C-alpha cells in the first residue's frame, strides 16, 4: 500500500500519485462544484461553497459559482416579483371588467414596468369612474325628466298614445287605460291603433294614418272620432294628431267627449221641444180663435133650427169643435201659454194611496201596481187635477208597454241635487226637489223613440189608438211648475219617468249628526261610470272609509277574491256591461255568504232579498243607508 505523500512539484493537477493528498482534495472540490452547479441549474440558489483554498484558480472557480448562485437568485426573485405584479394587475383588470371599481392596482414595485403598469391601470380606472359618474348624472337627469313627463302625461286629463308606422301602439298613458279599460301591459307592443276603432269608421282612420305619413298636411290634425273600449262600448272623442320629427311615429291626444255630447243632445232636445212648444202654442192660439167663431155660430144655428134631423148635424159640429178646443188647450198647456190653475197644498202620500185604487181599475189585473212612499208626510203645492193628469198619463203609458202584464212602481221621495248632478244635467239647478217616479217592466224604448217621446202627436201606438199628446201634456204641466222630467229606458229593460218638482223654502226639520255617518270599514265600490265612482268614492273616503274601486263585475270579483277578509260591504251598480250587478252579488255571496251588499240603481226598483238605493239621493242618505247595514239595523 502506498503512503500518501505530498506532491513535490507543488502542482497536483498532473500528479500521477493516486494517493496524493492534494489530488484527493482537488477531486473533492471539483465534485462539490459540480454538485452545486447542478443544483443551481435546478433553481436551488441557496447553495454556497464556503471553502477557502490557496490555489487562485480554484478560489476563482468557487467565487464564480457563488456569484452565479447569487445572480440566478436575484434573477429568479426579479422574475417572481414581475410575475406576481402582472398577476395582481391582471386580477385588478378582471375585476374592473366585471364592474368592481373598488379594485385598485398597486404602484409600489421595484420593477419599473410593473409600477408603470399599475399607474396606467389606476389612471384608466379614474377615467372610468369619472365617466360613470357623468353617466349616472345624465341618467338621474333623464329619470327626473321621464318622471316629470310621466306625471304631466298622467295628470293633464287627456289620453295619450304613440303609434308606429304599422299602427302598433308603442306607448299609452294612464288616462288612455281609463278610457279603454285595457292596461299598459295589454296594449303596448301588442295591440294596434285599429283595435280601438269601430268597424264602420275603420277605413277612414286607416286612410288618414297612411296619408299623414306621406305628408302631415294630407290628413286633418284634429277631428272627432269614436273609440271602442274593452267591453265593446263606443265612446265619442276629440282627437289631435301630430307626427314625431325624424320618425314615422305619430302621437295622438284624445279627449273623451261622450258626456259632453250627451249634454249637447240634452240642450238640443230641450231647444227642440221649446221650439215645438212655441210653434204649437201659436198654432193653437190661432186655432182657438177660429174655433171660438165656429162654436159661436154653431150655437146660434142650433138655437134657430127647428128641424130635429138638422139639429143632430149641428150637435155633431159642436161636439167636434169642443174636442178641437180641448186639443188646442192641451197644446197651449204644452207650450205653457196657459196659466197654471190655482195650486193647493196637498198631502201627496194620501193622494197617491187614494188615487191608486182608480189606477188599478185602469191598468187591469195582469199588471201589479206598487207604491213606494216615505213614512213621513210629504206636502206640496200643486193643482190636484194636474197631478192626476200627470200620473194617469204615465201609468197608462206603462200599461200599454206591458201587453202581457208586468209591474208598475210609483215612488215618492225628497232629495237634494248638488252641482255634481248639474254637470251631467245642465238644465237642472242645484237645490231641494220632490221626485215622483213611475217605473214599469215593459218593452222599453229605443234611442230614436226616446228622442221624440215628448213631441206633439208623436206616438208608437197603432193608428186610432193614441193621439200622441199624453206625454206632451205631462211635459207641459211639469214645466209649468218649473220642474224637470227625465226618461230612463232600454229595450227589454222597462222604462222610468222621473219628475223633479222644485221645493221652495223647504226647511229640514231633522238635522243629521254627521258624526254618526262616519266609519272605518272597507267598502268595495263597483260602477262602470268613472264619474259616479269618483263622486261616491270621494265622500266615502271623506267619512273615513277605505274604498276599493272596480269599473266592472270581472274586476270586482278579482278584488273581492284578493281582499275578501278585509271588505265589509259591497256597493254595486245594478246595470253594468258583461256581468250585471245582481250576478256580481250572487258570485260574491257564493264566496262569502255573510258579505253585506248594497245595490245602486238609477231607477227606483224593488227586488226580493236585495237592498237597493238610488244613485240620485244625497251623500248623507247613502252614508246613512251604509251605516245602518253595517250596524245591522237593516
Cβ pair 324, 287 in contact under 8 A:
yes
CATH of the domain at 185: 3.30.450.20
pLDDT of residue 338: 47
Q: Which residue has the higher pLDDT, 74 or 571?
A: 571
pLDDT of residue 328: 60
Report CA-CA distances (Å) from 446 to 460, 465, 484.
11, 20, 21
β-strand partners of 439: 409, 496
Return the number of other C-beta atoms located less than 10 Å from residue 50's C-beta.
Answer: 6
pLDDT of residue 339: 47
Q: Terminus-to-terminus CA distance in the chain, angstroms?
A: 140
pLDDT(160) > 70: yes
pLDDT of residue 145: 84
CATH of the domain at 449: 3.30.565.10
**Phi, psi of 110, deg, nearest 5:** -80, -15
* pLDDT (mean) for 484-499: 87
Confidence of residue 5 (pLDDT cuts 50, 70, 90): very low
Task: Kindly state whether residues 283 and 305 are assigned to the same domain.
Answer: yes
Looking at the domain assignment, is residue 150 inside a domain? no
H-state helical runs in 447-542: 447-452, 470-480, 530-542
pLDDT of residue 192: 92
> Locate cell 448562485: which residue?
69
Return the number of other C-beta atoms located less than 10 Å from residue 518's C-beta.
Answer: 12
Roughly what angle, to the nearest 10 degrees, separates helices 21-41 and 56-97?
10
Element (H, E) at 265: helix 258-304
pLDDT(474) > 60: yes
* pLDDT (mean) for 503-514: 53
> Locate cell 165656429: which residue?
294
pLDDT(260) > 80: no
User: Domain range spanning residue 583?
Assistant: 510-630
Mean pLDDT, all residues of the chain: 79
**Phi, psi of 498, deg, nearest 5:** -115, 125
Region of poorest pLDDT, from 453-457, 568-572, 629-633: 453-457
**Which of the listed residues 230, 256, 282 is the one where a domain comes to its end?**
256
pLDDT of residue 463: 58
Confidence of residue 3 (pLDDT cuts 50, 70, 90): very low
DSSP assignment of 369-410: EEEE--SS--EEEE-HHHHHHHHHHHHHHHHHT-TT-EEEEE
Complete edge-to-edge strand list for the sheet that includes strand 234-243: 169-172, 159-163, 250-256, 234-243, 222-228
pLDDT of residue 13: 46
Task: Kindly state whether residues 404 and 442 are assigned to the same domain.
Answer: yes
**Which of the listed residues 310, 334, 358 is the one where a domain comes to its end?**
334
pLDDT of residue 337: 45
Q: How far is CA 514 from the centre of its chain?
A: 31
Q: Which residues contact 23 (CB under 8 A, 6 or more apart)?
A: 7, 12, 15, 17
Task: Kindly state whether residues 516 and 416 are assigned to the same domain.
Answer: no
pLDDT of residue 511: 45
CA angle 394, 399, 401 (to 5 degrees): 95
* pLDDT (mean) for 401-408: 88
Confidence of residue 544 (pLDDT cuts 50, 70, 90): very high
Task: Kindly state whether residues 242 and 223 are assigned to the same domain.
Answer: yes
Dist. CA 93–CA 162, nearest whole Å? 44
**Span 94-135, pLDDT tens digits:** 877 777 778 877 777 777 777 787 778 778 778 888 888 898
Cβ pair 69, 47 in contact under 8 A:
yes
Confidence of residue 311 (pLDDT cuts 50, 70, 90): confident
Q: Is pTM, for the whole model, over 0.95?
A: no
Confidence of residue 2 (pLDDT cuts 50, 70, 90): very low
* pLDDT (mean) for 476-494: 83
Return the number of other C-beta atoms located less than 10 Å from residue 498's C-beta.
Answer: 21
Measured in residues, the chain has a length of 634
CATH of the domain at 620: 3.40.50.2300
Confidence of residue 546 (pLDDT cuts 50, 70, 90): very high
Structure letter (DSSP) for residue 366: T
Task: Kindly state whether residues 354 and 489 are assigned to the same domain.
Answer: yes
pLDDT(151) > 80: no
pLDDT of residue 602: 65
Amino acid at each position: 500500500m502506498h503512503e500518501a505523500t505530498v506532491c513535490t512539484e507543488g502542482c497536483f493537477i498532473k500528479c500521477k500519485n493516486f494517493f496524493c493528498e492534494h489530488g484527493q482534495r482537488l477531486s473533492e472540490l471539483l465534485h462539490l462544484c459540480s454538485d452545486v452547479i447542478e443544483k443551481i441549474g435546478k433553481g436551488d440558489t441557496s447553495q454556497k461553497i464556503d471553502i477557502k483554498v490557496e490555489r487562485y484558480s480554484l478560489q476563482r472557480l468557487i467565487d464564480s459559482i457563488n456569484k452565479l448562485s447569487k445572480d440566478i437568485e436575484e434573477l429568479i426573485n426579479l422574475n417572481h416579483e414581475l410575475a406576481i405584479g402582472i398577476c395582481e394587475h391582471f386580477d385588478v383588470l378582471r375585476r374592473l371588467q366585471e364592474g368592481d371599481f373598488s379594485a385598485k392596482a398597486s404602484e409600489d414595485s421595484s420593477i419599473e414596468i410593473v409600477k408603470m403598469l399599475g399607474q396606467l391601470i389606476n389612471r384608466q380606472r379614474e377615467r372610468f369612474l369619472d365617466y360613470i359618474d357623468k353617466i349616472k348624472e345624465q341618467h338621474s337627469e333623464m329619470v327626473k325628466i321621464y318622471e316629470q313627463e310621466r306625471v304631466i302625461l298622467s295628470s293633464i286629463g287627456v289620453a295619450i298614445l304613440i303609434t308606429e308606422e304599422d299602427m302598433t301602439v308603442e306607448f299609452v298613458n294612464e288616462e288612455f287605460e281609463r278610457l279603454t279599460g285595457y292596461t299598459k301591459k295589454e296594449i303596448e307592443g301588442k295591440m294596434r291603433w285599429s283595435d280601438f276603432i269601430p268597424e264602420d269608421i275603420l277605413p277612414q282612420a286607416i286612410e288618414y294614418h297612411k296619408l299623414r305619413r306621406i305628408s302631415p298636411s294630407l290628413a286633418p290634425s284634429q277631428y272627432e272620432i269614436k273609440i271602442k273600449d274593452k267591453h265593446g262600448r263606443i265612446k265619442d272623442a276629440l282627437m289631435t294628431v301630430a307626427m314625431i320629427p325624424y320618425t314615422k311615429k305619430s302621437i295622438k291626444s284624445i279627449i273623451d267627449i261622450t258626456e259632453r255630447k250627451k249634454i249637447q243632445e240634452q240642450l238640443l232636445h230641450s231647444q227642440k221641444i221649446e221650439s215645438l212648444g212655441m210653434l204649437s202654442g201659436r198654432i193653437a192660439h190661432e186655432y182657438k180663435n177660429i174655433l171660438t167663431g165656429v162654436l159661436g155660430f154653431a150655437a146660434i144655428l142650433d138655437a134657430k133650427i127647428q128641424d130635429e134631423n138638422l139639429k143632430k148635424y149641428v150637435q155633431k159640429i159642436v161636439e167636434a169643435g169642443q174636442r178641437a178646443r180641448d186639443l188646442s188647450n192641451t197644446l197651449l198647456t204644452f207650450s205653457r201659454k196657459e196659466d197654471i190653475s190655482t195650486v193647493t197644498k196637498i198631502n201627496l202620500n194620501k193622494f197617491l194611496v187614494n188615487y191608486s185604487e182608480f189606477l188599478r181599475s185602469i191598468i187591469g189585473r195582469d199588471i201589479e201596481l206598487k207604491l213606494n212612499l216615505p213614512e213621513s208626510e210629504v206636502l206640496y203645492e200643486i193643482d190636484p187635477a194636474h197631478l192626476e193628469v200627470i200620473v194617469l198619463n204615465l201609468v197608462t203609458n206603462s200599461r200599454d208597454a206591458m201587453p202581457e202584464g208586468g209591474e208598475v212602481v210609483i215612488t215618492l221621495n225628497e232629495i237634494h241635487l248638488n252641482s255634481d248632478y248639474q254637470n251631467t244635467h245642465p238644465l237642472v239647478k242645484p237645490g231641494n226637489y220632490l221626485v215622483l217616479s213611475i217605473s214599469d217592466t215593459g218593452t222599453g224604448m229605443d234611442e230614436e223613440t226616446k228622442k221624440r217621446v215628448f213631441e206633439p202627436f208623436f206616438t208608437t201606438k197603432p193608428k186610432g189608438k193614441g193621439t200622441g199628446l199624453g206625454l206632451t201634456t205631462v211635459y207641459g204641466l211639469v214645466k209649468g211648475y218649473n220642474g224637470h222630467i227625465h226618461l230612463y229606458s232600454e229595450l227589454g229593460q222597462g222604462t222610468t219617468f222621473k219628475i223633479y218638482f222644485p221645493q221652495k223654502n223647504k226647511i229640514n226639520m231633522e238635522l243629521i249628526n254627521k258624526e254618526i255617518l262616519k266609519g272605518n270599514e272597507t267598502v268595495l265600490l263597483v260602477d262602470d261610470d268613472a264619474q259616479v265612482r269618483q263622486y261616491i268614492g270621494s265622500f266615502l273616503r271623506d267619512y273615513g272609509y277605505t274604498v276599493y274601486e272596480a269599473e266592472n263585475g270581472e274586476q270586482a270579483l278579482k278584488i273581492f277574491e284578493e281582499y275578501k277578509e278585509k271588505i265589509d260591504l259591497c256597493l254595486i251598480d245594478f246595470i253594468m256591461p258583461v256581468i250585471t250587478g245582481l250576478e256580481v252579488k250572487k258570485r260574491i255571496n257564493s264566496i262569502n255568504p255573510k258579505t253585506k251588499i248594497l245595490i245602486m240603481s238609477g231607477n227606483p226598483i224593488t227586488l226580493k232579498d236585495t237592498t237597493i238605493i238610488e244613485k240620485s239621493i244625497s251623500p248623507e242618505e247613502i252614508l246613512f243607508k251604509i251605516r245602518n247595514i253595517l250596524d245591522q239595523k237593516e
